[in-house]
Structure 1
Amino acid sequence: MTQPDPARPQPARPAPVYRAPREWTRLHPVSPLLGGWAVFGVVGSIALYNVAPDWVGADEELVQAAHWLWRSLLWVILGAVLIVGLAIGIGYLQWRVDEYRLSDEAIEQRKGILFKQHKQARLDRVQAVDVVQPLLARIFGFAVLKVEVAGGENSGIALEYLRLGDAEAMRNELLALAAGVKRAKAEGRDASVNAVLSDDAVAKFPAQPTPVGGEGENPAYASAASLRDVTDGLRSLGGPAGLTETAAAPEREVYKVPIGRLLQSIVLSWPFLWICTLPLWVGLAVWIFPIEFNEIVAVAGASLFTVVPAALGLLGYFWSQLSGGFGFTAAISEDGIRLRHGLTETRRQTVPPGRVQAVQFQQSLLWRKKDWWRVTINVAGYQDDQAAVSTLLPVGTRQDALTALWLVLPDLGDPDPAGTVSLALSGTGDEGGFTPVTRRARLFDPWQWRHRGVRATDRALMIRRGWLVRDMFVVPHERTQSLGLTQGPLQRWRGVATFTVHSTNGPVSPVAQHLDMADAVALLDAQALRAAEGRRRQTPEQWMTAVGIREDGA
């Protein structure tokens, strides 16, 4: 037998090629282990109740049961093994019956031990395909594939867990089939991005801000400076070492949130401010009221189980802000808006612009000096996971916020989009062509009535409000679900009314309060006509052309 020469270079192994299965295929065998970590919380709870001192206020029966279990160490070990084994066994049975496949018409999943389920998501109803990696799955190279479809609650499909390469291959194939790329190529026309996304689409707005009264007062509606050339799709997604049978569509990065800015935004938040001033309030209370130190310790110990959950909830808020905004990057491709973010749980998601129903800009008082904004959206089709996709920009400059709006609504229908949106964000009264709230509304809103107003452009309705916390809503006319006009008895007495734009489920609720009754009625009638006209003329290709992905007639 000939031994290989160590000095002689060996041929490199070909990179694996990941394919989307067309036959019924099970999830990865490691799925029961990755999804069964909750059972260890039971064992941890027993230990917690055992070691916790009596003065923390735990339930006496639970403490006694925990002490009894702890004294019988053998039974604890056997019980833990039994619980873990039972969980793994049930997980194994679930894995055996959980299968999926992809066809030219739909992605299908069937599962269930006692109650069988067979889900079918038609490709023409697919809204988005997200690749999610929780911490444990990320360590070992696995991912969850979530397919969101236009339908009711629990209509989506979640494949937990696949190898990262398999998840990427399925995602690419699903998006390609759903977009009709393969069908277009079969007909002899190219439906993919040929080279780089055109800078002409964004260059029609000034590339640099034009300061008016301060930094960032009148920035460009969108900037081409932050865009970069298209890189390989799989590499840009941070995918596995290998190739997918269907390559990811090319993309261009639009903006990115620096980690320093994200940390500063968390520090400049009201919850963090309350935490920092809490010792001051406690000291003030001790100084004002004659409270002994021993009494403070006793009260703190007796209420530990009240304080600890509150503290954990507060820490959870900070962690969610940090983890959700870590490495936040937005890009555009022919699939839509691609968002990548996450610290322990990474998420690569695709937001179809045509499914964005409403946009909200928000700025707290603590962010005003730096002119930072947060942009959130309502997305149709994410009934089961709306919170995961509601953030379009966790924190950014005004120009970043305007660029985020450009991603969703490239054509605002206004000759000066930069100036119009800037006045919508910071203006008062009738500045920027807004219809202001009547002075009769001071009874209901004495502090911020001057900051309220509405304005409609050819493509969207804008609503602004807020004094300490500024809010501005943008609703594309074609995404208007329904309209409402309400008037309470006091509002009727003052001749004002509240105008509401009903949107899909999500954090954005566009409401214009305390408008003059005549203005509210006129707005209701005009907005109904604009919404009907917008739905008639809007097509997905218009967005692709506006952001420079394709040319007219392509």
Structure 2
Amino acid sequence: MSSIQPTPPHGVSDAAPAGPAASVRSPLSDGEWHRLHPLTPLFRGGLALVIVAGVVISNLRDRLIEWFIPTLAPGAGLEEYEDYSGDPIDFILANNLIVIALLAVLAIVLILVGIFYLSWRFHTFRITGDEVEVRSGVLFRTHRRAPLDRVQGVNLTRPMVARLFGMAKLEVVGAGLDANVKLEYLSTTNAEEVRTDILRLASGRQLAEAQEKRAAAVSRGQAAASVVTAGLTGIIAGAEEPVAEPESVVHIPVGRLIGSHLLSGATIGLLFGIGAIVVGAIVGTPWLLFGMVPTVIGFIFYWVRSITRSLRYSIAPTPSGVRITFGLFTTITEILPPGRVHGVEVRQSILWRPKGWWSVHVNRLSGRSATDGQADQFATVLPVGTRDDAERVLRLLLPGLHETEWPAVFAHGLLGPAEDDPYTNTPRRARLLRLLSWRRNGFLLAGDTLLLRRGAIWRRLAILPLARVQSFALTQGPIDRALNVGNLRAHTVLGPVDGALGIIDRDAALDLFADAEAAAVAAARSDRSHRWAGEQE
């Protein structure tokens, strides 16, 4: 689809504010109000009507067959329909109301088309030098804004059906619950260019003055016609060419992905559950086998969906941050800008240890509630990988970690404890409270980073940039006081990375509390990663 010409929304003055830049890549990022793709209403709500129509037609399949019987079997007429009672179609046929019924259906279709048109016409957006704004609604107007200096990332989603038409939707991730601003839908090319412009402006670059208004002003009628023409051209041309993506630093074989799900705690738990049900059925309650079937079907569906979501995975560095792509049917591409990672955790299940597999998760502001099913998906930046894969991902997410500190991450953190262990671990006197992991349960303050090492069976290493830590807390219960130990918690944004570490020496915890507090204040004062491009281009 070609670029959409700027068209002021209904009821808005033609005088637009200054655009964000003179060197933006997309004409949709010029500070003017623009409309979305003409097919947006269809993909946002019209597909539900198509599904309803399909269900109705499916339920009427027998009736449709009977309508064509007179042409296939002479002597079979429509008189038999008069014997039916309570069927609206029989009533229409018996009373010769076919023309009226068709006119009523046509009126409904025209009304729906009018509603879709108004919905599209009143749904506008603009990108200025300070924020992304979206206005929508006909009777009840909604105006959402996402300040660029609060942007936590920009996600590009391409559902399977929309991808066939070369369309995608953008989601500007804000710093707060339900703070995201969505642009759905744009052409894939426009979506990529708009995302680049948003991240470019969010980086802190101060560009040139706004573009001058076009000398030859385009009338509203001409602009609307160009938009419709561009939309029809996109439909006829079909899906656009694939957008060029940077080379991924990690490649996950399909076999490894399937094996990681087979060797998961959920799979093992399901097998134990099936075994218990089978034993119960053999002992004397065979009906338990029937209750197992829905559980197995649901788990298989969840298992397959989890695998398809992780297919086509790639992760690569870009000037605007780390680009992560995943999903087979619905492809999601997110760019995580610098300074938006609040915590990183590397995990290894005991089932993965013979294979040497690891997974990497992050705490980040996603603009979604904790109950959102996709919140955890956006928090997983490496579903499964080798140690080398995990190291490549960590180097992308933690570019500020000094080279001399990396041995504390892998040799001592992930695989340790090793000789000359730099971590402060649980004292021997309290080992009963961490019976299996007391030698690994420890912390290390390395420059501007706090490392928390936990677990012997399920290994975990949390890496917390101090510039992103919100606060620290020390707690101590009666048993802890008796053993002279304490518990530390570093508070970050909600996510899978846990900043808690328990059963450490009390005096060491107090020293860490003071040192980490001072280091966090200094790191936050000198941190400029949230506006990573500096003040000038």
TM score, norm. by length of structure 1: 0.70
Confirm whether residue 169 of structure 1 aligns to residue 193 of structure 2.
yes
Structure 1: which 5+ residue stretches go unaligned? 1-13, 49-70, 187-238, 545-549
Q: Which residue of 2 aligns with 1:319?
A: 304
> Which one of 180, 192, 199 corresponds to residue 156 of structure 1?
180
> Which one of 29, 36, 40 corresponds to residue 38 of structure 2?
29
Confirm whether residue 402 of structure 1 aligns to residue 410 of structure 2.
no
Matches of 1:474 and 1:109, distance apart in 2 = 37
Q: Which residue of 2 aligns with 1:361?
A: 346
Confirm whether residue 255 of structure 1 aligns to residue 250 of structure 2.
yes
Confirm whether residue 532 of structure 1 aligns to residue 521 of structure 2.
yes
SS in 2 for 1:366: coil
Cα pair distance change 1:428/1:96, threshold 3 Å: same
Q: 1:430–1:436: 8 Å Cα contact kept in structure 2? A: no
Cα pair distance change 1:19/1:275, threshold 3 Å: same
Q: 1:378–1:505: 8 Å Cα contact kept in structure 2? A: yes
Matches of 1:368 and 1:158, distance apart in 2 = 41
* CA deviation after TM superposition for structure 1 residue 332, in Å: 0.8
> Which one of 28, 35, 46 corresponds to residue 20 of structure 1?
28
Q: Which residue of 1 aligns with 2:313?
A: 328
Alignment of 1:115-264 (within 5 A): 115-150=140-175, 152-180=176-204, 183=207, 240-241=240-241, 251=246, 253-264=248-259
* CA deviation after TM superposition for structure 1 residue 422, in Å: 2.6
Structure 2: which 5+ residue stretches go unaligned? 5-24, 59-84, 93-100, 211-238
Matches of 2:354 and 2:113, distance apart in 1 = 54
SS in 1 for 2:41: helix
Q: 1:408-459 CA deviation, whole Å, 9 max, x = no partner?
A: 2124236251464232012138853100112333343323222211111113
Q: 1:130–1:147: 8 Å Cα contact kept in structure 2? A: yes
* CA deviation after TM superposition for structure 1 residue 122, in Å: 2.9
Q: 1:245-275 CA deviation, whole Å, 9 max, x = no partner?
A: xxx9x95532232222212211221222344
Higher radius of gyration, 1 or 2: 2
Matches of 1:470 and 1:38, distance apart in 2 = 46
Amino acid at match of 1:315: I
Q: Which residue of 2 aligns with 1:422?
A: 411
Matches of 2:444 and 2:55, distance apart in 1 = 55
Q: 1:63-90 CA deviation, whole Å, 9 max, x = no partner?
A: xxxxxxxx97758999xx99x9798876
SS in 2 for 1:507: coil
Matches of 1:177 and 1:72, distance apart in 2 = 63
* CA deviation after TM superposition for structure 1 residue 510, in Å: 1.4
* CA deviation after TM superposition for structure 1 residue 535, in Å: 1.6
Amino acid at match of 1:258: P
Q: Which residue of 2 aligns with 1:507?
A: 496
Q: Which residue of 1 aligns with 2:380?
A: 391
* CA deviation after TM superposition for structure 1 residue 323, in Å: 2.5
* CA deviation after TM superposition for structure 1 residue 300, in Å: 5.0
Amino acid at match of 1:323: T
Matches of 1:75 and 1:484, distance apart in 2 = 71
User: Structure 1 stretch 87-96 or stretch 100-109: which is displaced more?
Assistant: 87-96
Q: Which residue of 1 aligns with 2:447?
A: 458
Q: Which residue of 2 aligns with 1:97?
A: 122
* CA deviation after TM superposition for structure 1 residue 465, in Å: 0.8
Matched-pair identity in %: 32
SS in 2 for 1:155: coil
* CA deviation after TM superposition for structure 1 residue 403, in Å: 1.6
Amino acid at match of 1:120: R
> Which one of 444, 449, 453 corresponds to residue 433 of structure 2?
444
TM score, norm. by length of structure 2: 0.72
Query: How much is the aligned-residue C-alpha RMSD, in angstroms?
Result: 4.0
SS in 1 for 2:248: strand
* CA deviation after TM superposition for structure 1 residue 387, in Å: 3.0
SS in 1 for 2:260: helix
Q: 1:20–1:173: 8 Å Cα contact kept in structure 2? A: no
SS in 1 for 2:404: coil
Q: 1:369-422 CA deviation, whole Å, 9 max, x = no partner?
A: 111100000113544664342112111111111121111212423625146423
> Which one of 276, 293, 296 corresponds to residue 286 of structure 2?
296
Q: 2:247–2:316: 8 Å Cα contact kept in structure 1? A: yes
